[in-house]
Structure 1
Amino acid sequence: MPSPVLPAARWPALLALPLALGLAAQALSAEEPASAVFAGGCFWCMEEAFDPVPGVLSTTSGFSGGHVENPSYNQVVAGGTGHAEVVKVEYDPAVVDYAALLHVFWRNIDPFAVNRQFCDVGEAYRSALFPMNDEERRLAEASQAALAERFGREIATEILDFETFYLAEEYHQNYYRRNPVRYNFYKAACRRVERLEEVWGEEAGGLGGHPAAAR
């Protein structure tokens, strides 16, 4: 008995089915990269802090939190723009999550410093979190409250809704790698490591203590 012949009108749909199933499987097996923005004082130092975290794909220095469009570095550090130096972290959510990035962030800043971080002073160097959705805001606020309870004092770090990220000049990108001598001199002069150890002890640096940050 001959096989039934399918109407020609149904061929395109049948031919497209394997492709559609394949694309759906890819979508389920791979998450799109995500991004998060953190202000922790000098953006050179924050790039160095996040780059080693497993699942972090890239870090970029820039500015957020202010009211001036496309500000220059000189404008921001002079004050009056409302912006802070920030780092944008691109990451793979299948490897590291926002909670783990918060863990690293806190342990690379002085959470008690107001409008400064280490030797850098001014609104441009304040610490801040920029959640991009309700869940990130919940996690940010919960982490801030946990630290306030842990240390028994107010946390100065701001939590601000993310609006816009402005890219910093090219010479700031990967500065700690491209200018290691100058960078290490600056970092040592600011006594950044020493202050982090005063606040965080063995947790300073942030790669330990959170499974998703260290795996």
Structure 2
Amino acid sequence: MSILSRMAVLAAAALVACSPGEPAAGAPAVQSGPDSGRREVALFAGGCFWSVEANFEAMPGVVSAVSGFAGGTVANPTYDQVVRGGTGHLEAVQVTFDPARISYRQLVDRFWRTIDPTDPDGQFCDQGATYATAVFATPAQSGIARASRAAAVAVIGADRFTTPVRPVARFWPAEAYHQDFARLNPVRYGGYSRFCGREARLRAVWGR
């Protein structure tokens, strides 16, 4: 979906999608339970990074989830550059987690259930190359990610499942006003999510 098209759709709903009008300061995700002090990083692209970030921040063992961009060719891109197209980036979220409290496999398994992997062109009301989905995996993570994908494919069907596992790419954080948007702006984000039909579509895809 182009910038102008998306603005028109969201204006009709009196909302703003992944393009907030007023900057909001970020804040760390709340963690519960004992912290082992160990840290690993995972990278996911699942459409609007607000939603991906919110989904992972809610998981015990996740230390932080940062919205940004990955997979492109332009260094340190801005949000405006990415959504205009031509940089090759996807909206992505870098997840830092404590592997003693949650495994990489659990994160990937969770990721599939929060996206529509049958849509190769975007997610929900956010359409276009920027909103394509992917798991960006390191060499050490690749086998785990592919095994998780195979399990998800068994549910959806190989002919419908389009989200790939890609080699890990450089991650660039988005501007501060995008960070923790769903948590800091619950009314605006809730309206956006409902308008985009996320839950209804996820139920249709995953049967939940």
CA displacement at 1:145 relative to structure 2:
2.3
C-alpha distance in structure 1 between counterparts of 2:36 and 2:151, whole Å: 32
2:148 match: 143
The one-letter amino acid of 2:154's match is E
C-alpha distance in structure 2 between counterparts of 1:190 and 1:30, whole Å: 38
C-alpha distance in structure 2 between counterparts of 1:30 and 1:59, whole Å: 18
Contact 2:48–2:131 (CA<8 Å) still a contact in 1?
A: yes
Structure 1 residue runs without a partner (length 5+): 1-28, 203-215
Equivalent of 2:175, from 150, 166, 169?
Answer: 169
SS at match of 2:138: coil
CA displacement at 1:31 relative to structure 2:
5.5
Contact 2:40–2:99 (CA<8 Å) still a contact in 1?
A: yes
C-alpha distance in structure 2 between counterparts of 1:151 and 1:157, whole Å: 11
Contact 2:46–2:91 (CA<8 Å) still a contact in 1?
A: yes
C-alpha distance in structure 2 between counterparts of 1:79 and 1:101, whole Å: 29
2:196 match: 190
CA displacement at 1:118 relative to structure 2:
0.5
C-alpha distance in structure 2 between counterparts of 1:55 and 1:151, whole Å: 28
1:74 match: 80
Equivalent of 2:114, from 108, 120, 124?
Answer: 108
Is 2:105 the partner of 1:99?
Answer: yes
Identical amino acids, percent of aligned pairs = 46
The one of the two structures with greater contact order (alpha-carbon pairs below 8 A, sep at least 6) is 2
C-alpha distance in structure 2 between counterparts of 1:120 and 1:131, whole Å: 24
CA displacement at 1:51 relative to structure 2:
1.0
Instruction: Return the index of the structure with the highest Cα Rg.
Output: 1
CA displacement at 1:30 relative to structure 2:
4.3
Structure ranking higher in helix proportion: 1
1:49 match: 55
CA displacement at 1:56 relative to structure 2:
0.5
C-alpha distance in structure 1 between counterparts of 2:66 and 2:99, whole Å: 18
SS at match of 1:156: coil
| Stretch moving more, 87-96 or 153-162 | 153-162
Can you list the C-alpha shifts for 1:110-142, whole angstroms capped at 9, x where unaligned? 0110120011011110000011223x1111112
Q: Which runs of 4+ in 1 moved over 4 A?
A: none
2:32 match: none
Can you list the C-alpha shifts for 1:41-75, whole angstroms capped at 9, x where unaligned? 01100111111111001110000011111111111
Contact 2:36–2:98 (CA<8 Å) still a contact in 1?
A: no
Contact 1:65–1:160 (CA<8 Å) still a contact in 2?
A: no
Structure 2 residue runs without a partner (length 5+): 1-34
Contact 1:144–1:155 (CA<8 Å) still a contact in 2?
A: no
| Stretch moving more, 93-102 or 148-157 | 148-157
2:18 match: none
Matches within 5 A, 1:6-25: none
Can you list the C-alpha shifts for 1:158-182, whole angstroms capped at 9, x where unaligned? 2211121101000000001222221
CA displacement at 1:155 relative to structure 2:
1.7
1:212 match: none
SS at match of 1:150: helix
TM-score normalised by L of structure 2: 0.79
Equivalent of 1:60, from 63, 66, 69?
Answer: 66
Note the aligned Cα RMSD (angstroms): 1.5
TM-score normalised by L of structure 1: 0.77
